[in-house]
Amino acid sequence: MARRGGRNRRQPRTAGPSTKGLRTCLGTRERLPRDDMIRLVCDPAGRVMVDRYLKAPGRGAHLAYDREAIEQAVKRRAFGRAFGQAVQPVELEPLVAEVIAAIEQRITDGLALGRRAGRTVSGLDSIERSRGRLALLVVAEDASEATAAALRRRAEGAECPLWVFGDRELLGGGQGKPARVAVGVLDPDLAARLNLEFERRARVRGDAPAD
């Protein structure tokens, strides 16, 4: 005989959102994917360091790529609690500088790897010839105003992001040249990865959004 009312039936469980792979920001307490966060590690002497490539062994702590998040973590002195040990004092500006240095090293490495894979072009003539294929344009900080303006028009025409980064010697060195005023990225996947790093750098530096 069937039981009436179904009061004893078990209600199916509703699964909540998965937190697998998420980490909590020390500053904002927001949970974000691990690969989208700054990872910090602590050496035996209690010095907090940035894990540039998310590969350092040991216990890690995490921060969002955002200057305010870093400020909050420093203000709250959250690092000792995160690592469960005494840590050396963490100051805001040196930590921000170390995070930016890590981002900029990944950008430099990405441009160099792109050159070896044939995914970048450098120099004004090569960029002009590749204008229909540009996915991202990087311009040296010491480019002349006229050159920078011309490259900005080229990026707008190609509908690709443009970022100012490094000097001519740095850009040239990564492309196997003495100096280059600009580097164009042709591969969309590489361009997307580099654009993400540039956006992270802007948030950590606290840059005002472009008009």
Of 98, 91, 29, 15, give the one whose Cα is nearest residue 61: 29
Sheet arrangement for strand 120-122: 120-122, 182-185, 136-139, 162-164
What per-residue confidence (pLDDT) applies to 60?
Answer: 94
What per-residue confidence (pLDDT) applies to 21?
Answer: 81
126-131 average pLDDT score: 93
Fold of 22-90: Hypothetical Cytosolic Protein; Chain: A; (3.30.1230)
211 pLDDT tier (thresholds 50, 70, 90): very low
3 pLDDT tier (thresholds 50, 70, 90): very low
What per-residue confidence (pLDDT) applies to 14?
Answer: 47
What pLDDT, in 10s, does the model give residues 129-152?
A: 998 999 999 999 999 999 999 999
Q: Does domain 99-205 have CATH number 3.30.1330.30?
A: yes
Distance from first CA to last CA of the chain, Å, rounded?
73
H-only helix segments in the chain = 67-76, 79-83, 92-116, 124-129, 145-158, 168-174, 188-205
List all residues 6 or more positions away from 196 whose beta carbon is below 8 Å from its beta carbon: none
Looking at per-residue pLDDT, the higher value among 20 and 73 belongs to 73
203, pLDDT greater than 60: yes
pTM for the full model?
A: 0.86
150-164 average pLDDT score: 95
Kindly list the domain boundaries of the chain, sorted by start residue: 22-90, 99-205
What per-residue confidence (pLDDT) applies to 183?
Answer: 98
Cβ count within 10 A of residue 127: 24
Of 18, 37, 36, give the one whose Cα is nearest residue 26: 37
Q: Which of 16-25, 86-95, 171-180 has the lowest mean pLDDT?
A: 16-25
